[in-house]
Amino acid sequence: MKIISYNVNGIRAALKKGFIEWLVSTNADVVCLQEIKAMEDQLDLSLFEDAGYKYSYWYSAQKKGYSGVAILS
């Protein structure tokens, strides 16, 4: 099993910079993300499903634009 932890410093910015391509290339079973800085409803979760991560768990900071974590599996 391959588990990766990655501080994305803003998932929306990371998506614009090729995050999905990197995600697919890692072939990880579980990816833990820190500092997502976005609410779950601000993202198109189908991008992660299409990349092979059927399950995603999001815990956003209560204040918009602050930290937050996610797990993709």
Q: pLDDT-derived band of residue 8, with 50, 70 and 90 as boundaries? A: very high
pTM of the model: 0.89
Q: How far is CA 39 from the centre of its chain?
A: 11
Q: pLDDT, tens digit, for every residue of 9-55?
A: 999 999 999 999 999 999 999 999 999 999 888 999 999 999 999 99
pLDDT score recorded for residue 65: 67
Which residues are CB-neighbours of 15 under 8 A, at least 6 positions away?
43, 47
Asked if 33 contacts 70 with a C-beta cutoff of 8 angstroms, the reply is yes
Element housing 49 (H / E): helix 46-50
